[in-house]
């Protein structure tokens, strides 16, 4: 169902307060693109660590080598797309912590100018991943890994639209699409804990909005139950394989909103221990001391 003009107006930074959503997404995007847990393909694990350490060329080389060795696996190009996205975040200084604490500064910033070459490579990687996922799903509709790859594609595109292009309505559309796919996956595989994150993110972020706006969003098909969002995030944070850090970071953000400083510190300390080269976690923790 297409969004009404009133919804479009509400999604502008000054009215929808979308900057709070973006601020949260900026903080959690790092672990979002870092796959975690036993069972991940070793080459992908190396590539994500390279990307996370800002070694983008090395990460691309690793992901593209994985794709050559596993040409039917959609996670190869999806991971390469994540590296392109993360490199743009780094180039445009989107991950600077000033954005986390100052909504007015974010609103006053000019729209970012994406690198057209990177954007083309990013979109090409997403398209390859989605095509491979669709091909596998055509042969095996219940292929959970292919379904999850499609969920990731929508998540990455949502981040690009929202954080770089400031296309908030388009970003919301991708969020909803990812959640619908996650629902479908979980109906057959309730133990695919990473997929709960897509449901948790939509419900949590949109559940923060005022009641009238939540009603409008529900009319468009969005889900806005904040408490359910927290419950789904906890499932990924406790039992996820690829996106466990993403969920834990979102729970840390919620803890800060609820003034539960001790819990936020606990999560940030865990993230620092797991990812010692990530300065964002240390900077955020330093603010709490």
Sequence ranges of the domains in the chain = 5-286
Range from 67-76, 80-89, 220-229 that averages highest in pLDDT: 67-76
* Alpha carbons 181 and 186: distance in angstroms, whole number: 9
CA quadruple 260, 19, 126, 8: dihedral sign = positive
Q: Which CATH number fits domain 5-286: 2.40.40.20, 1.20.1080.10, 1.10.3720.10, 1.25.40.10?
A: 1.25.40.10
Q: Record the pTM.
A: 0.75
Proportion of the chain above pLDDT 90, given as a percent:
28
Most confident range, picked from 6-15, 40-49, 92-101, 178-187? 178-187
pLDDT score, position 15: 44
The more confidently predicted of residues 2 and 70 is 70
User: Which range is least confidently modeled, 1-5, 45-49, 232-236?
Assistant: 1-5
Tokens of 118: 């990177």
Compute the distance between CA of residue 231 and CA of residue 6 in angstroms, rounded to an integer.
30
Q: Which residues contact 288 (CB under 8 A, 6 or more apart)?
A: 261, 264, 265, 268
Count other Cβ atoms within 10 Å, centred on residue 7: 18
The 10s digit of each residue's pLDDT in 82-98 is 899 888 988 887 755 33
Residue 74 — very low, low, confident or very high, per pLDDT cuts 50/70/90? Answer: very high
Mean pLDDT score of the chain: 77
Summarize pLDDT for 197-213 with one digit per residue, the tens.
888 777 777 777 777 67
* pLDDT on residue 195: 87
pLDDT of residue 168: 78
* Structure tokens that stand for 97 in this block: 């912590």
Least confident residue range of 210-214, 235-239, 254-258: 210-214
Residues 6+ apart with CB under 8 A from 138: none
């Amino acid at each position: 169902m297409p969004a009404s003009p009133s919804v479009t107006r509400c999604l502008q930074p000054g009215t929808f307060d979308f900057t709070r959503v973006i601020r949260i997404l900026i903080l959690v995007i790092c672990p979002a693109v870092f796959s975690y847990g036993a069972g991940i393909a070793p080459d992908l694990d190396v590539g994500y660590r390279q990307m996370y350490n800002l070694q983008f060329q090395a990460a691309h080389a690793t992901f593209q080598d994985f794709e050559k060795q596993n040409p039917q696996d959609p996670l190869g190009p999806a991971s390469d797309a994540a590296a392109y996205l993360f490199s743009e975040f780094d180039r445009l200084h989107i991950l600077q912590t000033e954005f986390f604490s100052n909504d007015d500064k974010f609103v006053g910033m000019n729209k970012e100018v994406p690198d057209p070459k990177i954007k083309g490579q990013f979109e090409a990687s997403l398209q390859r991943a989605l095509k491979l996922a669709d091909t596998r799903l055509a042969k095996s509709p219940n292929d959970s890994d292919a379904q999850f790859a499609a969920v990731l594609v929508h998540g990455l595109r949502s981040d690009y639209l929202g954080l770089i292009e400031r296309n908030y309505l388009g970003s919301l559309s991708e969020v909803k699409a990812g959640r619908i796919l996650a629902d479908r996956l979980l109906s057959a595989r309730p133990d695919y804990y990473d997929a709960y994150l897509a449901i948790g993110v939509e419900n949590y972020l949109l559940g923060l909005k005022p009641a009238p706006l939540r009603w409008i969003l529900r009319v468009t098909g969005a889900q806005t139950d904040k408490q359910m969002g927290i419950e789904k995030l906890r499932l990924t944070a406790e039992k996820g394989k690829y996106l466990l850090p993403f969920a834990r970071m979102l729970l840390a953000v919620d803890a800060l909103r609820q003034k539960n400083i001790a819990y936020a510190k606990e999560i940030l300390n865990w993230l620092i221990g797991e990812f010692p080269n990530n300065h964002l976690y240390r900077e955020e923790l330093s603010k709490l001391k």
